[in-house]
């Protein structure tokens, strides 16, 4: 697995064109979190150079075509808006002349003030009380864990927290980078975009143990709410409100270890029943 610092280190080949190098991976398809994070890095670089007081607060993206992990990806940035309070960038991730991912990211100036409130983090055991939970993942997910060796991912046992009786599917995961990472806010934001695609779609399968499905991310949206570090423990509280027609909707709230709500994620993914006869 390539170091996240290398994954997020894009080469600038023109004013608004960037290139991500191939990533050493056992997966034939590019990991969705990787292309989303790299697209966000490209967007950030076109804002940071002229608008230092603005930070990304949201992104909305669509996975259009499977990427090839062994090939480089080119990121084309359109500067849709550069306003006084907000700026917007559109990014197309391209391989072999085809767009594999399309994203818009919005940036908001720092220093604005207004009302404040936030959801509370549910009570769960601390990560040190859980230990290694890799064996609890299905075989397909355990293969992904081999790709994420630089990340410590621990699923909270379902019997160790109170469940919302009105939620169809729930999963709670602690995670953090095993490596110390740079003291740069935007780096941690882009790294969280990478990490946010891990385990979320799998939360839709909690009510269906043993059901074999073909999985793929279809879209991804994030909101960055408060400062955080991904080399410190974060709690990913995940629910899947609905699964039907071979698609599952998932939603995650991310808290820091002090209980502050730092980010939110919504994703829809393909969850098509696996057919061994399908060609």
d(CA 199, CA 56): 23
66 and 32 housed in the same domain: yes
Name the pTM for this structure.
Answer: 0.93
Does the residue 117 lie in any domain?
Answer: no
Domain with residue 27: its CATH number is 3.10.129.10
Segment 150-179, tens digit of pLDDT: 999 999 999 999 999 999 999 999 999 999
130 and 268 housed in the same domain: yes
83 and 212 housed in the same domain: no
Structure tokens at 114: 């207004």
- Please say whether the dihedral angle defined by the alpha carbons of residues 144, 6, 86 and 89, taken in this order, is positive or negative: negative
175 and 256 housed in the same domain: yes
Does the residue 119 lie in any domain?
Answer: no
Segment 5-26, tens digit of pLDDT: 999 999 999 999 999 998 877 7
162 and 276 housed in the same domain: yes
Calculate the dihedral angle through the C-alpha atoms of 251, 256, 257, 260, rounding to the nearest 10 degrees.
-90
Average pLDDT in the 91-109 region? 97
d(CA 151, CA 175): 7
163 and 251 housed in the same domain: yes
Q: Which residues are catalytic?
A: 197, 217, 267
139 and 269 housed in the same domain: yes
Residues 230/188, Cβ–Cβ less than 8 Å: yes
Task: Please state the domain count of the chain.
Answer: 2
By residue range, what is the domain housing residue 56? 1-110
Q: How many of the other CB atoms lie within 10 Å of CB of 18? A: 23
- pLDDT > 70: what percent of the chain? 92
145 and 273 housed in the same domain: yes
181 and 86 housed in the same domain: no
Segment 120-152, tens digit of pLDDT: 999 999 999 997 776 666 665 566 667 778 999
79 and 130 housed in the same domain: no
């Amino acid at each position: 697995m390539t170091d996240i610092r290398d994954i997020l280190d894009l080469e600038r080949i023109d004013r608004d064109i960037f290139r991500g190098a191939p990533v050493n991976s056992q997966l034939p398809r590019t990991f969705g979190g990787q292309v989303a994070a790299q697209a966000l890095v490209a967007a950030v670089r076109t804002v940071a150079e002229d608008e230092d007081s603005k930070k990304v607060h949201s992104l909305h993206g669509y996975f259009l075509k499977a990427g090839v992990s062994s090939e480089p990806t080119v990121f084309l940035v359109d500067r849709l808006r550069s306003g006084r309070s907000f700026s917007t960038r559109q990014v197309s991730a391209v391989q072999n002349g085809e767009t594999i991912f399309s994203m818009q990211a919005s940036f908001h100036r720092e220093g604005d003030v207004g009302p404040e409130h936030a959801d509370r983090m549910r009570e769960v055991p601390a990560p040190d009380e859980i230990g290694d939970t890799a064996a609890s993942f299905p075989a397909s997910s355990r293969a992904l864990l081999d790709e994420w060796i630089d990340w410590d991912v621990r699923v909270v046992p379902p019997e160790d927290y109170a469940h919302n009786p009105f939620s169809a599917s729930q999963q709670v995961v602690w995670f953090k980078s095993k490596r110390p990472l740079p003291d740069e806010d935007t780096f941690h934001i882009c790294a969280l975009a990478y990490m946010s695609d891990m385990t979320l779609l799998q939360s839709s399968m909690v009510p269906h143990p043993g059901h074999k499905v073909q999985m793929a991310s279809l879209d991804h949206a994030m909101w960055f709410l408060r400062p955080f570090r991904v080399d410190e423990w974060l709690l990913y509280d995940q629910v899947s409100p609905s699964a039907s027609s071979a698609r599952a909707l998932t939603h995650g709230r991310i808290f820091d270890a002090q209980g502050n709500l730092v980010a939110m994620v919504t994703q829809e993914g393909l969850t098509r029943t696996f057919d061994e006869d399908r060609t």
